[in-house]
A and B are shown apart, each in its own frame.
Chain A
Amino acid sequence: NAGVTQTPKFRVLKTGQSMTLLCAQDMNHEYMYWYRQDPGMGLRLIHYSVGEGTTAKGEVPDGYNVSRLKKQNFLLGLESAAPSQTSVYFCASSELGYEQFFGPGTRLTVL
């Protein structure tokens, strides 16, 4: 039982490049979330999903898109990366929308 996994663990992009972060969970959870963590800012919600085929905007959605084509996967896309998107990205999942289980994170640097 792997829990929540994230791919890749590290990535360096140039401004304007695109990439997709993959989150996978094997707990059959309905709810999935993408956060970004910046020093002194805590975790801020980017987008979330309450079930397969559904997504919703969180606190800081601009510059990001998401898709939930399969229940176990939640993809976060950056279409045109900017230095302000340098951050650590965490995916989480939960049952019934409460206690969330987090992945190990993806450290993204945009030059």
Chain B
Amino acid sequence: AQSVAQPEDQVNVAEGNPLTVKCTYSVSGNPYLFWYVQYPNRGLQFLLKYITGDNLVKGSYGFEAEFNKSQTSFHLKKPSALVSDSALYFCAVSLDRGSTLGRLYFGRGTQLTVWP
């Protein structure tokens, strides 16, 4: 069965410092990995994805994520955090085309708080 783990419910970081939001996954095939962000009372917004190719992917708002196949991880990073980055972040995994037909499996989310 496919699953995603976000080991930290909360991450707190000072503005200007680098941030990391962790994600590990378990799939029975080739993973497609995604990060989404949710601001209060809003829907989820797509940040970035890994399908294939370069293990370091860059996304919106200066975020990037590194795919590590041996560690089955896809951590979200940003070199310098902003207060406006404070939000709920979700990691999600899908399999390549097949019976699951693009279904996403989400982690439980990590609340990021950036202090001024």
Contacts and interface: CB of A to CB of B under 8 A. Distances in A.
Contact of B108 (A4, A40, A50): A40
Interface stretch (A13-21, A64-72, A74-82, A90-98): A90-98
B93 to A, nearest CB: 11
Contact of B101 (A50, A92, A102): A50
B108 A98 contact: no
Given A41-B108, A43-B90, A98-B32, A48 B103 contact: yes
A105 B23 CA distance: 25
B58 to A, nearest CB: 15
Interface string B101-115: 111101111000000
A103 B38 CA distance: 11
Interface in A18-45: 31, 33, 40-45
In order of increasing CB-CB distance, the 5 nearest A-B pairs are A97-B102, A102-B43, A42-B108, A42-B106, A102-B44
Interface of A: 4, 31, 33, 40-45, 48, 50, 58, 90, 92, 94, 96-105
Interface of B: 9, 32, 34, 36, 41-46, 49, 51, 90, 94, 97, 101-104, 106-109
Given A31-B101, A96-B97, A102-B43, 7 more contacts: A42-B108, A45-B104, A48-B103, A97-B94, A97-B101, A100-B46, A104-B43
